[in-house]
Structure 1
């Protein structure tokens, strides 16, 4: 079961439930993917109206890898995400919120 206190968010991919988490390594992977110079620059990419589906997939991929998943972005491009686009966007947003909220 995903533990939101540790930044985990559950997502079902191809019928298998995974716990995703934006670890420091996952965030570094995202920075490199987007060519961002800082965490702040990367997070700004997810604000406003410019969000792309490829951004959501990259964020989910990094979160899944941070949770121990062995796949890559190409695997997600061909995967069935339970709940579709809306669930993918919800999980991506939740991952960001949990990664940057202060510890209780």
Structure 2
């Protein structure tokens, strides 16, 4: 079970359910992967719908690694993510929202 107050988001990949979380280390890895100068720049990219599929993949990989997964982006190239590209984008956006929301702000 995911804990939204801990910033967790569930994602099903190839029929297996994973819990994603953006830890400080995962965020640092994400900033580097997305060539973002700051966390604010990273969040703004998603808020303004200026993100690429590569950005979504980087965010999902960072979230999975923050949740304890040991894989990398190459492990997801042929993976089936529930909901396809739209489901992946929604999960990525929810992950960012939960990571930067106070508990009372979560829906």
What residue is the counterpart of 1:89 in the other structure?
89
Cα RMSD (Å) of the superposition?
Answer: 1.2
Alignment correspondent of 2:25: 25
Which residue of the partner structure matches residue 39 of structure 1? 39
Aligned to 1:2: 2
> In the TM superposition, what whole-angstrom CA distance separates every residue of 1:44-68 from its partner, at most 9, and x where no partner exists?
2223232211111110110011001
Partner Cα separation in structure 2 for residue 27 and residue 35 of structure 1:
12
Return 5+ residue gaps in structure 1 as ranges. Answer: none
- Structure 1 ranges of 4+ moved more than 6 A: none
Mean Cα deviation higher: 60-69 or 35-44: 35-44
Which runs of no fewer than 5 residues in structure 2 stay unpaired? none
Measure how far apart 1:36 and its partner are: 2.0
- Separation of aligned partners in 1, 2:8 and 2:47: 21
Length-normalised TM-score, structure 1: 0.92
Aligned to 2:68: 68
What secondary structure, in the 3-state scheme, does the structure 1 residue paired with 2:98 have? helix
How many correspondences in the alignment?
104
Give the equivalent residue in structure 2 for 1:57.
57
